[in-house]
C-alpha cells in the first residue's frame, strides 16, 4: 500500500502500558474535549463510555505531534466512531457542540459541584440531584444528615477544591517523614500518585510508608496519626485497617481495584509560610493555614514494588496494566502481588522494572505513565 506524503503510519499499542505518555503533549484541544465527555459519562455512572473516551484521549496524549486532519488518525487504536466525530467537529469548526452542550448542562454542573465535595460519590450526588440539590449552598440549606467525611468536605470545600502545589506536597512530605521517623527510625517514605508522575499540582498528596525489616511497620499508622493530631496538624483522619491477611478471595477475585493495605485518608492543616509572619495580623479574614487531602498507605516491604506501581497511576495506566496482565499474559496483577494463573505461582519483584519484565513490557518510567 502506497502512502501519500503527509500520511503518518502509527504503530501504537492498544494498552496504555505499551505506550509512553508524557504530561505535556500536543493535542490538548482534543483531549480536553474527550475528557469532559468521559467525566460526564462517569458522573452519569456510565463506566463503559467513561473508559472509552478516556482511552481515546489517552491515545492522542501519546502522539508525538498535533492532529491536523482526520487522516492523521489512521491506524490508531481506541478511537471509536463517537470520539472520531468529536475530533472531526473540532478540526472543522474549532469546537464540538456536544462538548459545549454537556459543559453547559444543568446536570453536569450540579453533579460536578456535588461530587467535588470530599466524601460524596456519584451515587450520593445523583440522589441529592434528584431531590433538587444542585450545589453546596443547596446542600447546606437542605440540612441533610452528612457523615463525618462529608461534613469535612463541606467545611473545607474551597480549600479542598484548590489544587495542591508541588511545594505544598514537599512540605507535607517533610512533616510525614518527621512523624514517621520519630516513631519508627529506619522507616521509608515515598511520594507517589500524580506528583511522582511529575504533575505540578494534584487533588491530594499520596505517600507509601514501609520498613526494610518486614513486620516493623505493623501498628505504625495509628501512632503516626496520633503524633500529627497531638500537634494540631490534622483536620480529619480515617484509618482503614489492613485486611489482606484475612482476604481469601484473592487471587480468585483479582478484578477488585481496591487494595487491602492499611491506609489513612486524611485532611492536613498545612501552615502557610507567608502567613507565619502575619500572625500578629488579627484581621482574621483568611486562615493562616490550608486544608490539604493526604493519603498515607502502609506497605509490607516485600510488596513495595507492587504498591509503588499500583499507587503511581495514572488510573488508566493501572487499569490497562491489569488488563494486559490478565488478557495477554494470563496473570493477575494488583498492588500486592503478581500471580501467574497458568503456573499457579506468585512472581516476586523488588522493583517496578522487574514487574514490567515479568509482564513482557518495556519499562515505562513514572513521568511517562500519564495515560
Q: Which residues of this chain interact with ligand CTP, rule CB under 6 A? A: 193-194, 199, 202-204, 206, 258-259, 310-311, 313-315, 318, 335
When asked if residue 238 is in the footprint of Mn ion (CB under 5 A), the reply is no
Per-residue x/- track, 81-120, Mn ion (CB under 5 A): -x--------------------------------------
Identify what 336 binds: Mn ion, ligand CTP, none; CB under 5 to 8 Å per kind. none
Q: Concatenated DSSP letters for 42-103?
A: HHTT-HHHHHHHHHHHHHHHT-SS---SGGGGTT-SS--HHHHHHHHHHHHHSS-HHHHHHH
CB of 336 to ligand CTP, least distance (A): 11
**Segment contacting Mn ion by CB under 5 A, of 26-34, 131-139, 288-296, 361-369:** 288-296
The least distance separating Mn ion from the CB of residue 82, rounded to whole angstroms, comes to: 3
Partner interacting with residue 258 (select from Mn ion, ligand CTP, none; CB below 5-8 Å by kind): ligand CTP
Contacts for 252 with CB less than 8 Å, ≥ 6 apart: none
- Which lies closer to ligand CTP via its Cβ, residue 315 or residue 345? 315
295 given a catalytic annotation: yes
Residue 76 to residue 67: CA distance in whole angstroms: 12
Q: Does 206 bind Mn ion (CB under 5 A)?
A: yes
Among ligand CTP, Mn ion, none, the one that 318 touches (CB under a kind-dependent 5 to 8 A) is ligand CTP
Using the minimum distance from each CB to Mn ion, give the nearer residue, 60 or 169.
Answer: 169
Catalytic residue, from 72, 206, 259, 320: name it: 206
Nearer Cβ to ligand CTP (90/153): 153
Least separation in angstroms between residue 259's CB and ligand CTP is: 6
Cβ neighbourhood burial of 338 (10 Å; 0-12, 13-18, 19+): buried
Partner touching 313 among ligand CTP, Mn ion, none, CB below 5 to 8 Å by kind: ligand CTP
Q: Where are the alpha helices (H) located in 239-337, listed in sequence order?
A: 273-276, 304-312, 315-329
SS3 196: helix
Pick from 229, 303, 301, 231: which is nearest to 267 by CA? 229
Distances (CA, A) of 174 to 4, 180, 209: 56, 10, 13
Shortest separation between residue 105's beta carbon and Mn ion, angstroms = 17
Distance from C-alpha of 280 to C-alpha of 156, rounded to nearest angstrom: 24
| 366 interface partner picked from Mn ion, ligand CTP, none, CB below 5 to 8 A per type | none
Integer CA distances (angstroms), 151 to 112, 136, 162, in order: 18, 11, 18
Q: Closer to ligand CTP by CB, 152 or 335: give it.
A: 335
Q: Write the secondary structure of 226-244 as one string of H (helix), E (strand) and C (coil).
A: HHHHHCCCEEEEEEECCCC
Q: Point out the catalytic residue in the list 89, 138, 295, 340.
A: 295
Comparison of 114 and 169: residue with beta carbon closer to ligand CTP: 169
Distance CA 76, CA 10 (A): 6
Cα(251)–Cα(174) distance, rounded to whole angstroms? Answer: 36
Residue 144's φ and ψ, nearest 5 degrees, are -75, 165
Instruction: Decide: is 366 part of the binding site for Mn ion (CB under 5 A).
Output: no
In terms of Cβ atoms closer than 10 Å to its own Cβ (0-12, 13-18, 19+), residue 249 is exposed
Give CA separation, 354 vs 155, 338, 349, in Å: 44, 11, 6
Instruction: Choose between 153 and 313: whose C-beta lies nearer to ligand CTP.
Output: 313
Cell of 183: 516513631
Whether 320 is catalytic is no
Nearest distance in Å: CB 329, ligand CTP: 20
**Contact status: 168 vs Mn ion (CB under 5 A):** no
Cα(357)–Cα(253) distance, integer angstroms: 24
| Closer of 300 and 310 to Mn ion (Cβ) | 310
Instruction: Look at residue 82 and give the partner it binds from Mn ion, ligand CTP, none, a contact being a CB closer than 5 to 8 Å depending on partner kind.
Output: Mn ion
Contact residues: Mn ion, CB under 5 A: 82, 193-194, 202, 204, 206, 295
Active site residues: 204, 206, 295
Amino acid at each position: 500500500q502506497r502512502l501519500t506524503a503527509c500520511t503518518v503510519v502509527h504503530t501504537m499499542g492498544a494498552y496504555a502500558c505499551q505506550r509512553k505518555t508524557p504530561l505535556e503533549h500536543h493535542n490538548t484541544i482534543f483531549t480536553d474535549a474527550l475528557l469532559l465527555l468521559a467525566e460526564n459519562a462517569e458522573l452519569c455512572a456510565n463506566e463503559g463510555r467513561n473508559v472509552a473516551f478516556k482511552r481515546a484521549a489517552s491515545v492522542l496524549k501519546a502522539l508525538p505531534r498535533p492532529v491536523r486532519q482526520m487522516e492523521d488518525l489512521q491506524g490508531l487504536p481506541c478511537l471509536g466512531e463517537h470520539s472520531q466525530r468529536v475530533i472531526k467537529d473540532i478540526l472543522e469548526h474549532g469546537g464540538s457542540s456536544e462538548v459545549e452542550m454537556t459543559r453547559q448542562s444543568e446536570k453536569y454542573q450540579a453533579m460536578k459541584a456535588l461530587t467535588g465535595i470530599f466524601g460524596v460519590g456519584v451515587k450520593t450526588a445523583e440522589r441529592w440531584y434528584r431531590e433538587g440539590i444542585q450545589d453546596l449552598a443547596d446542600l447546606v440549606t437542605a440540612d441533610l444528615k452528612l457523615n463525618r467525611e462529608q461534613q469535612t468536605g463541606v467545611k473545607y470545600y474551597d480549600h479542598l477544591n484548590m489544587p495542591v502545589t508541588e511545594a505544598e506536597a514537599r512540605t507535607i512530605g517533610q512533616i510525614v517523614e518527621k512523624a514517621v521517623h520519630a516513631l519508627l527510625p529506619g522507616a521509608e517514605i515515598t511520594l507517589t500518585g500524580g506528583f511522582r508522575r511529575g504533575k505540578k499540582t494534584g487533588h491530594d498528596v499520596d505517600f507509601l510508608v514501609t520498613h526494610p525489616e518486614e513486620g516493623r511497620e505493623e501498628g505504625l499508622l495509628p501512632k503516626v496519626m496520633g503524633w500529627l493530631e497531638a500537634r494540631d496538624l490534622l483536620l480529619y483522619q480515617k484509618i482503614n485497617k489492613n485486611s489482606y491477611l484475612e482476604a481469601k478471595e484473592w487471587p480468585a477475585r483479582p478484578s477488585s481495584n481496591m487494595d487491602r493495605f492499611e491506609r489513612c485518608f486524611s485532611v492536613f492543616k498545612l501552615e502557610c509560610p507567608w502567613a507565619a509572619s502575619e500572625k500578629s495580623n488579627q484581621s482574621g479574614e483568611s486562615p493562616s493555614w490550608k486544608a490539604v487531602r493526604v493519603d498515607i498507605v502502609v506497605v509490607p516491604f516485600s510488596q513495595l514494588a507492587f504498591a509503588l506501581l499500583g499507587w503511581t497511576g495514572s488510573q488508566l495506566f493501572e487499569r490497562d496494566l491489569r488488563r494486559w496482565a490478565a488478557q495477554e499474559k494470563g496473570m493477575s496483577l494488583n498492588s500486592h502481588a503478581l500471580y501467574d494463573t497458568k503456573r499457579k505461582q506468585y512472581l516476586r519483584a523488588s522493583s517496578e522494572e522487574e514487574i514490567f519484565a515479568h509482564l513482557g513490557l518495556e519499562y515505562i518510567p513514572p513521568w511517562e505513565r500519564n495515560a
